Structure 1
Amino acid sequence: MAYVGLTKPRVIELLLLTTVPVMFFAAQGVPDLGLVVATVLGGAFSAGSASVFNCVYDRDIDEQMRRTRRRALPRHIISPRAALVFGFALGILSTIILWAWVNPLSAALSVGANAFYVFGYTMLLKRRTAQNIVWGGIAGCFPALIGWTAVTGELAWAPVVLFAVVFFWTPPHTWALALRYREDYKQVDVPMLPVVRPAHDVAVQIVVYSWVMVATSLVLWPVAGTGPVYPVVAGVLGAVFLVQAHQLERRAKGSEDLSVIRPMHLFHSSNLYLSLLFVAVAIDPLLR
């Protein structure tokens, strides 16, 4: 179980949630079950590999943060060397599965996402800039592309739009969590935006990204020619999310008290928003 914890299963669940629905959308129906299984396994191993490398590199700060200090490496349950071997094994197995049973393009995209998360976000951006999660979050957008290419073997504008939705969703989602744990990040000198800027400034940025995210989600309708289900669901979900983002901004005005701001409300809502939006992506072609 300690090794499983290194892979951050909740992150894997979220990434797969943006992979499988896109496969339904790309197939305009139910995709081949064997292809889905291979893509899910390959994607899960790839995401798990990236998370393991992240845990190894960040073990020094994880040991000091309340949210992460009970992970296996800070508790010395697993050695860094053993974790590295595990991470490489997952990455190699992922590439073999995707290359052999899906297609080379999907395998290459998966390797690219893994490399960007480890080298781009974890090693380069996370400890150096307050915009770390904006650009580092690109790695988490790749599953939309991988799900599409797994079915079609090529890229198109529809998965690019969904890639952009996840890109603009990531800052509100992550900054809400970072507001909750800003003292942890401050203690270890990780310049997350809530560490270097007042809560209200962060909330304003969350509102801006939320508006762009909702607008981008609606672009899928004309670009991909969806049926009526998707734009209705996207519109309703987007309206609810925007209300909550603006409520967060109002609570943060003139206050740094987390009990007043309640950022975790938006964090949990963001998970629900993305989940239901991509469920709508999967269901839309089935109802046409």
Structure 2
Amino acid sequence: MTTIDDHADLLSGEQVRLSEAGARDFFELLKPRVMSLVVFTAFAGLLLAPGQINPFIAAIAILCIAVGAGASGALNMWYDADIDAVMSRTARRPIPDGRILPQEALAFGLTLSTFSVAILGLVVNWFAAGLLAFTIFFYAVVYTMWLKRSTPQNIVIGGASGAFPPMIGWACVTGGVSLDSVLLFLIIFLWTPAHFWALALFKMRDYGAVGIPMMPNVAGEGSTKNQILVYAVLTAACGVSPALTGLVGWGYGVFAAVLGIVFVGCSIAVRQMPDGDEKMLPAKRMFAYSVVYLFAIFTALILAHYAGPLLDRLAGAA
């Protein structure tokens, strides 16, 4: 039976050749599905921020954030190649699958990190660039190299890295942060544990096989389900908060409340799921809905930001 150590020896052994990886393999290193969420929430932060930004500069800013997010993904895959090789969900990633060599992924990630931060600083502003650099460092070093393998709170603390993009987008326009940008951060930060612990429930065996201390493996299914419910409630409440601060109108608030109620309902269904349930259907449904929830929340924020003033003008004209 092949062990993690066997894969680690293979992946870390001396390589004297370059792989024959194509562009598609390197693109896969960027974690494009995760990148799409990062880009979208960063774009939302940029659009919601007060002030103006040149469209060309805005496009460069979003591109730099996307490249920085991809760099984080490449560095994560480089460091996690040993456990990725064992887990069924990740075994076909480019490094464990043998399509890309570890040192190629490392060089790729470091190069993209450097260029994305430098260009964002030179073209947009250095505050936003500093936030992007910190986000890459937090995900690649603090989360991937430290928290992920050392504490069941890995997702809670490490989730901050995925919550920074709207703040970076906001900072690209304003050169700083504000209460509203912090609320955008908190929506994602509070959403992350419920989202990932739902996944961890039906991937417990994979995480257990590689020794990653995910919450279900350490605290048990019951405790994890209770915590998912708590974070779902907090996420639903925070999701409505932009209407309370005046960032958007109450039409958004009502819509966000409905989305949040469904999110909490999914978490209640997970909590009622028997321990040891082989199918884990409620957890799978919650994981799927959580992605829909986040995209819907940020889409609604963008629409409300632009539709609100338009509706006010139409009402005034009438």
User: Quick check: TM above 0.5?
Assistant: yes
Q: Which protein, 1 or 2, shows the higher relative CO under an 8 Å CA cutoff with sep ≥ 6? A: 1
Q: Which moved more, 1:65-74 or 1:17-26?
A: 17-26
8 Å contact kept, 2:180–2:247: no
Matched, 1:282 2:305: no
Shift of 1:142: 0.6
Q: Label 1:225 to 1:47 Cα distance change in 2 as closer, same or farther (>3 A).
A: closer
Shift of 1:51: 0.9
CA offset digits 1:78-114 (Å, max 9, x no partner): 1111111111111112112211222111110000000
TM-score using structure 2 length: 0.86
Question: Aligned letter for 1:126?
Answer: K
Q: Which moved more, 1:101-110 or 1:220-229?
A: 220-229
Question: Aligned letter for 1:199?
Answer: E
Q: Quick one: distance in 2 between partners of 1:45 and 1:17? A: 13
Residue equivalent to 1:75: 97
Matched, 1:50 2:72: yes
Residue equivalent to 1:266: 286
Q: Which moved more, 1:50-59 or 1:227-236?
A: 227-236
Counterpart secondary structure, 1:258: coil
Q: Quick one: distance in 1 between partners of 2:267 and 2:126? A: 40
Residue equivalent to 2:25: 2
Residue equivalent to 1:109: 131
**One of 148, 170, 190 as aligned partner of 1:126:** 148
Residue equivalent to 2:187: 165
Matched, 1:23 2:43: no
What is the Cα-based RMSD across aligned positions, in Å? Answer: 1.5
Residue equivalent to 1:227: 249
8 Å contact kept, 1:24–1:31: no
Q: Quick one: distance in 2 between partners of 1:285 and 1:193? A: 37
Shift of 1:262: 3.4
Shift of 1:31: 5.6
8 Å contact kept, 1:169–1:209: yes
8 Å contact kept, 2:266–2:282: no
**One of 166, 182, 205 as aligned partner of 2:227:** 205
Question: Aligned letter for 2:180?
Answer: A
8 Å contact kept, 2:269–2:282: no
CA offset digits 1:111-168 (Å, max 9, x no partner): 0000011111011110111111100111111101101111111211001011111110
Residue equivalent to 1:146: 168
Shift of 1:227: 1.4
Counterpart secondary structure, 1:169: helix
Question: Aligned letter for 1:193?
Answer: M
**One of 100, 106, 111 as aligned partner of 2:122:** 100
8 Å contact kept, 2:201–2:280: no
Q: Quick one: distance in 1 between partners of 2:116 and 2:251? A: 34
Question: Aligned letter for 1:234?
Answer: A
Q: Which runs of 5+ in 2 are unaligned?
A: 1-23, 310-318
8 Å contact kept, 2:29–2:94: yes
Q: Quick one: distance in 2 between partners of 1:39 and 1:225? A: 22
Question: Aligned letter for 1:169?
Answer: W
Q: Quick one: distance in 2 between partners of 1:180 and 1:8? A: 21
Q: Quick one: distance in 1 between partners of 2:91 and 2:160? A: 26
Q: Quick one: distance in 1 between partners of 2:213 and 2:40? A: 29
Number of residue equivalences: 285
Q: Quick one: distance in 2 between partners of 1:217 and 1:122? A: 27
Which of the pair has more CA radius of gyration? 2
Residue equivalent to 2:159: 137
Matched, 1:249 2:240: no
Residue equivalent to 2:313: none
Q: Quick one: distance in 2 between partners of 1:31 and 1:283? A: 19
Residue equivalent to 1:195: 217
TM-score using structure 1 length: 0.95
Q: Quick one: distance in 2 between partners of 1:229 and 1:34? A: 31
Q: Quick one: distance in 1 between partners of 2:244 and 2:138? A: 31
8 Å contact kept, 1:35–1:150: no
Shift of 1:70: 0.6
